[in-house]
């Protein structure tokens, strides 16, 4: 059979050679007996290959164009190297693998592109202003002295020049400044992530070195655990790389790492490690002490973070609950009395409330220590693939240019039929599993609910709107018609999302809360002389908590012939939480290195308990502020409810009485009670959605966790203004 050519290989050939490859590789694919269909397929493949060729050429030209600034300015930038020492340091700390000369050249290149785009935007805006909108009177009626009066004939050119220059300088300068700021920002992000993961990375090094592994092997093991220890692992990987690829000794590699790391704590760890190595000190004891020290510092950092969150919560309640409420009341009073307009009230409700709340949520997300999210699956030595297989390549039918089978035998056809029957059975089992538990994807990933709820929400709003579009002749009628439907659509999206998220979150919290006790029990049984396998066997017999079922699965895996490390890794892959993955990765590495995991189990239990304790402390500390947000929301809704049912109602009644008596209604004659009631209902719903997201961001560090609060507040506001007003 002719060897199959892939698209990346054929795109490097000349056009006439490409046609030849297409003809040759067509042998590898099942051919249709209809030659017209074969010709059509051949043309499609040829056009695809030509498109790939053009894309590759365009990429080459783009790369060459990018290097033009470096060719022109690289020497000058390099000559002024002392001016960019800080930039080069930030690039190293951010792990951006580019020299400062190339980076600045890229900044100049993209700034020029942005400037060109700004020129087009400026000319387009000038055309709109001059030709479509028209110049303001203040510009068209300008007068100058007779000596320079001729300049008035070119005022359009001056305006176009001014706007274009502003856009060129603005966009170009913005892009250049972003390039200059980005390395420092990225280095700061890496610093936070290193500091967050460093206590657990040091614990990992302590456990392995305690088991007898030398420092170099410890570094290599940690460098391979990037999915578990994140940026801390990357810093160690830089040390390993210096030794493996650049031939540096351990001391030089450690010195280089301490000079390029953005984290002061990691730098302190490396400096002191150099001292311990030079003095012949006890490295495991050093790692143990540092691990305890960094855990204490993490707890101190969390207390400072919680104080900052408390300040933000109080600021939010003042600025975006009490403040807008006061301004809304004053604006309504002024509008009703005829001394103002409702524009300020509309701006507060539809712009200030959502935008201000979003700013606070983003601010909290920025200052919150970033978690690594759901961990990646750990590798096992025994691969158990339960997916749907494919027919092996050697069993696939092969056809010649005339569509006749080549090398087909009865044995080959029979084996292919066996595989195809097996594949059909696997597909049918997969379909049965989906039908048996259709909500499983949503439990695994709550965002999957959006694929169902968003189309339903669009139907809830869109279908009635399309059916009644001809009767909705004014914006007021349109708003009245879709008002309730928009609320139902929002609830239709966020209620299932919040339910599945909370179910997954509660399950995760239960498992993680029981996990430190599981490790402590393993450690205590290991101290009595039992092996890790026997300890798990003993614990699999008990039904004490939510983790017991998973422990039984570990034991069943071992009974079925999977070794203990793979069984523990499969356990971690089923639960997919950072605490469990990190701890079991530590235990399996220690078990591989020495088999003595007693001390490691104690350390892992301590770390897991420490992290759980910090989470509980945050939850308890922020609970009072979540309650304050609820109270402030209820006060907000209550006040505008009272205004709607008392003051505004009386104003509307007074206006009707004056109109009935035949007098001029004055400012009360144009008063629309329904419009203000609807406005206040929107204020309650927007405030409820915003306050709920804020509560989730503060209490649990997740906007998704705030959806349940938003749902409750939206329903409260909607029910009050729908049923009681």
Percent of the chain with pLDDT over 90: 19
Residue-wise pLDDT for 504-514, tens only, equals: 889 888 888 88
3-state DSSP: the chain helix, strand, coil percent, rounded to 5? 80, 0, 20
Q: Once rounded to an integer, what is the mean pLDDT over residues 460-475?
A: 85
Which helix or strand (DSSP H or E) is residue 512 part of? helix 475-527
Q: Once rounded to an integer, what is the mean pLDDT over residues 312-322?
A: 87
Alpha carbon distance 724, 343 (integer Å): 26
Alpha carbon distance 429, 79 (integer Å): 68
Residue-wise pLDDT for 584-618, tens only, equals: 888 888 887 766 788 888 888 888 888 888 888 88
SS3 of residue 572 by DSSP: helix
pLDDT at position 52 is 74
Give the model's confidence band at 29: pLDDT under 50 very low, under 70 low, under 90 confident, else very high: very low
What are the residues whose beta carbons fall under 8 Å from the beta carbon of 682, sequence distance 6 or more?
349, 350
Alpha carbon distance 611, 616 (integer Å): 9
DSSP characters over 26-93: GGGSPPPS-HHHHHHHHHHHHHHHHHHHHHHHHHHHHHHHHHHHHHHHHHHHHHTGGGGHHHHHHHHH
pLDDT at position 10 is 35
Q: Are 222 and 589 in contact (CB under 8 A)?
A: no
The closest of 490, 470, 477 to 675, measured between CA atoms, is: 477
Q: Once rounded to an integer, what is the mean pLDDT over residues 544-548?
A: 78
Above 50 in pLDDT, residue 533?
Answer: yes
Give the model's confidence band at 268: pLDDT under 50 very low, under 70 low, under 90 confident, else very high: very high
Retrieve residue 637's tokens.
């809704």
What are the residues whose beta carbons fall under 8 Å from the beta carbon of 238, sequence distance 6 or more?
256, 257, 260
pLDDT at position 501 is 93
What does DSSP assign to residue 321?
A: I
The closest of 545, 648, 540, 530 to 596, measured between CA atoms, is: 530
Higher-pLDDT residue of 459 and 344 is 459
Q: Once rounded to an integer, what is the mean pLDDT over residues 316-330?
A: 86
Above 80 in pLDDT, residue 228?
Answer: yes
Q: Are 682 and 350 in contact (CB under 8 A)?
A: yes
SS3 of residue 405 by DSSP: strand
R_g of the chain computed on alpha carbons: 34
Alpha carbon distance 161, 158 (integer Å): 5
pLDDT at position 455 is 93
Higher-pLDDT residue of 640 and 712 is 712
Helices (H), 531-597: 532-539, 548-559, 564-575, 578-593
pLDDT at position 418 is 86
Q: Once rounded to an integer, what is the mean pLDDT over residues 107-133?
A: 84
pLDDT at position 11 is 36
Q: Are 190 and 215 in contact (CB under 8 A)?
A: no
Q: Measured between alpha carbons, how far is residue 354 from residues 361, 397, 683 in Å? A: 11, 61, 10
Q: Measured between alpha carbons, how far is residue 555 from residues 560, 568, 577, 601, 642 in Å? A: 9, 9, 20, 18, 63
The closest of 395, 389, 396 to 31, measured between CA atoms, is: 396
* Reported pTM: 0.75
Alpha carbon distance 644, 725 (integer Å): 8
Least confident of 199-213, 397-411, 448-462, 631-645: 397-411
Least confident of 232-246, 377-391, 540-554: 377-391
Alpha carbon distance 127, 121 (integer Å): 10
Q: What count of Cα atoms within 13 Å lies in the side-chain half-sphere of residue 540?
A: 16
Q: Are 206 and 287 in contact (CB under 8 A)?
A: yes
What are the residues whose beta carbons fall under 8 Å from the beta carbon of 134, sequence distance 6 or more?
none
For the stretch 637-643, contacts whose Cβ atoms lie closer than 8 Å and that sit 24 or more positions apart, written own/partner, are 637/684, 637/687, 637/688, 637/716, 637/717, 637/720, 639/325, 639/329, 640/325, 640/328, 640/329, 640/680, 640/683, 640/684, 641/680, 641/720, 641/721, 641/724, 641/725, 643/329, 643/332, 643/680
Alpha carbon distance 197, 291 (integer Å): 11
Q: Once rounded to an integer, what is the mean pLDDT over residues 12-37?
A: 40
**Count of C-beta atoms within a 10 Å radius of residue 647:** 14
Backbone angles phi, psi at 569, to 5 degrees: -65, -40
The helix-helix angle for 673-699 and 323-336 (nearest 10°) equals 170
pLDDT at position 393 is 80
Above 50 in pLDDT, residue 20?
Answer: no
Residue-wise pLDDT for 142-168, tens only, equals: 555 565 555 556 667 777 788 889 999
Backbone angles phi, psi at 383, to 5 degrees: -95, 120
CA dihedral angle for residue 205, residue 207, residue 208, residue 210, rounded to 10 degrees: 110
Least confident of 32-41, 52-61, 171-180, 575-584: 32-41
Give the model's confidence band at 31: pLDDT under 50 very low, under 70 low, under 90 confident, else very high: very low
Q: Label residue 406 exposed, middle or buried (CB < 10 Å: 0-12, 13-18, 19+).
A: exposed
Q: Once rounded to an integer, what is the mean pLDDT over residues 219-237?
A: 89
Q: Measured between alpha carbons, how far is residue 173 from residues 117, 180, 182 in Å? A: 12, 11, 14
Q: What is the chain's length?
A: 725
pLDDT at position 493 is 94
Above 80 in pLDDT, residue 720?
Answer: yes
Q: Measured between alpha carbons, how far is residue 177 from residues 124, 181, 183, 434 in Å? A: 25, 6, 11, 51
The closest of 503, 444, 502, 488 to 696, measured between CA atoms, is: 502
pLDDT, averaged across the chain: 81
pLDDT at position 577 is 85
The closest of 22, 24, 18 to 3, measured between CA atoms, is: 24
Alpha carbon distance 24, 46 (integer Å): 12
Give the model's confidence band at 498: pLDDT under 50 very low, under 70 low, under 90 confident, else very high: very high
Residue-wise pLDDT for 337-353, tens only, equals: 766 667 788 888 888 88
Give the model's confidence band at 83: pLDDT under 50 very low, under 70 low, under 90 confident, else very high: confident
Beta partners for 399?
405
Q: Once rounded to an integer, what is the mean pLDDT over residues 313-322?
A: 87
Q: Once rounded to an integer, what is the mean pLDDT over residues 234-251?
A: 91
Backbone angles phi, psi at 405, to 5 degrees: -65, 145
Q: Are 651 and 668 in contact (CB under 8 A)?
A: yes
Q: What are the b/e assignments for 468-477, b being 16+ CB within 10 Å?
A: eeeeeeeeee
Alpha carbon distance 423, 388 (integer Å): 6
Residue-wise pLDDT for 427-454, tens only, equals: 888 888 888 888 888 888 899 999 999 9
Give the model's confidence band at 424: pLDDT under 50 very low, under 70 low, under 90 confident, else very high: confident
SS3 of residue 399 by DSSP: strand
What does DSSP assign to residue 133?
A: I
SS3 of residue 128 by DSSP: helix
What are the residues whose beta carbons fall under 8 Å from the beta carbon of 176, sequence distance 6 or more?
107, 108, 111
Alpha carbon distance 316, 660 (integer Å): 46
Retrieve residue 361's tokens.
């949520």
What does DSSP assign to residue 588?
A: H
The closest of 409, 389, 383 to 398, measured between CA atoms, is: 409
């Amino acid at each position: 059979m002719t060897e199959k050519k892939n698209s990346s290989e054929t795109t490097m050939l000349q056009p006439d050679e490409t046609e030849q490859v297409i003809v040759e590789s067509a042998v590898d694919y099942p051919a249709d007996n209809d030659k017209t269909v074969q010709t059509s397929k051949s043309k499609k493949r040829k056009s695809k290959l030509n498109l790939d060729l053009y894309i590759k050429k365009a990429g080459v030209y783009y790369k060459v164009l990018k290097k033009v600034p470096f060719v022109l300015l690289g020497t000058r930038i390099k000559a002024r190297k002392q001016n960019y020492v800080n930039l080069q340091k930030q690039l190293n700390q951010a792990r951006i693998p580019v020299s400062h000369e190339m980076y600045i050249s890229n900044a100049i290149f993209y700034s020029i592109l942005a400037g060109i785009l700004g020129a087009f935007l400026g000319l387009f805006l000038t055309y709109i202003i001059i030709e479509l909108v028209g110049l303001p009177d203040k510009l068209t009626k300008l007068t100058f002295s007779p000596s320079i009066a001729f300049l008035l004939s070119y005022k359009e050119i001056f305006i176009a020049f001014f706007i274009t220059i502003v856009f060129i300088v603005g966009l170009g300068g913005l892009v250049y400044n972003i390039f200059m700021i980005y390395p420092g920002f990225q280095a700061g992000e890496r610093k936070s992530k290193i500091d967050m993961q460093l206590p657990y990375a040091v614990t990992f090094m302590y456990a392995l070195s305690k088991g007898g592994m030398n420092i170099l092997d410890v570094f290599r093991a940690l460098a391979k655990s990037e999915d578990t220890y994140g940026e801390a692992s990357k810093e160690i990987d830089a040390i390993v790389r210096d030794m493996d690829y650049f031939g540096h000794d351990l001391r030089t590699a450690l010195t280089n790492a301490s000079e390029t790391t953005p984290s002061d704590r990691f730098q302190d760890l490396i400096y002191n490690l150099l001292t311990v190595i030079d003095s012949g000190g006890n490295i495991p004891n050093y790692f143990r002490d540092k691990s305890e020290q960094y855990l204490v510092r993490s707890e101190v950092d969390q207390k400072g973070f919680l104080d900052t969150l408390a300040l933000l919560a109080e600021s939010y309640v003042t600025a975006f609950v009490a403040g807008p409420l006061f301004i809304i009341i004053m604006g309504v009073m002024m509008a009703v009395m005829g001394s103002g307009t409702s524009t300020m009230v509309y701006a507060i409700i539809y712009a200030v409330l959502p935008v201000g709340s979003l700013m606070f949520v983003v601010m909290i997300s920025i200052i919150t220590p970033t978690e690594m999210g759901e961990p990646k699956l750990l590798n096992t030595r025994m691969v158990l693939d339960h997916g749907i297989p494919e027919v092996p390549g050697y069993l696939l039918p092969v056809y010649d240019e005339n569509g006749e089978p080549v090398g087909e035998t009865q044995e080959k056809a029979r084996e292919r039929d066996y595989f195809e029957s097996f594949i059909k059975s696997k597909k049918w089992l997969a379909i049965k599993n989906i039908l048996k538990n259709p909500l499983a994807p949503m439990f695994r990933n709550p965002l999957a609910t959006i694929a169902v709820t968003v189309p339903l929400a669009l139907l809830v709003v869109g279908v009635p709107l399309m059916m009644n579009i001809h009767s909705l002749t004014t914006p007021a009628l349109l708003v009245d018609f879709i008002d309730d439907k928009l609320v139902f659509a929002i609830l239709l999206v966020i209620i299932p999302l919040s339910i599945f998220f909370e179910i997954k979150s509660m399950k995760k919290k239960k498992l993680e809360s029981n996990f430190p006790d599981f490790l402590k029990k393993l450690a205590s049984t290991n101290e009595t002389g039992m092996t890790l396998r026997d300890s798990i066997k003993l614990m699999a017999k008990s039904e004490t908590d939510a983790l017991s079922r998973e422990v039984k699965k570990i034991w069943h895996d071992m009974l079925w012939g999977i070794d203990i490390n793979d069984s523990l890794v499969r356990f971690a892959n089923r639960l997919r939480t950072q605490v469990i993955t990190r701890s079991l990765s530590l235990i399996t590495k220690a078990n591989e290195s020495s088999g003595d995991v007693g001390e490691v189990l104690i350390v892992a239990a301590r770390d897991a308990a420490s992290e759980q304790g910090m989470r509980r402390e945050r939850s308890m500390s922020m609970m009072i502020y979540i309650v304050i947000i609820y109270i402030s929301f209820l006060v907000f809704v209550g006040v505008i409810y009272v205004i709607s049912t008392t003051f505004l109602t009386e104003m509307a009644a007074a206006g009707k009485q004056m109109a009935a008596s035949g007098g001029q209604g004055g400012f009360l004659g144009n008063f629309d009670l329904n419009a203000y009631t609807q406005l206040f209902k929107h204020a309650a719903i927007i405030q409820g959605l915003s306050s709920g997201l804020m509560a989730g961001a503060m209490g649990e560090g997740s906007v998704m966790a705030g959806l349940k609060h938003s749902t409750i507040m939206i329903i409260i506001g909607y029910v009050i203004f729908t049923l009681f007003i």
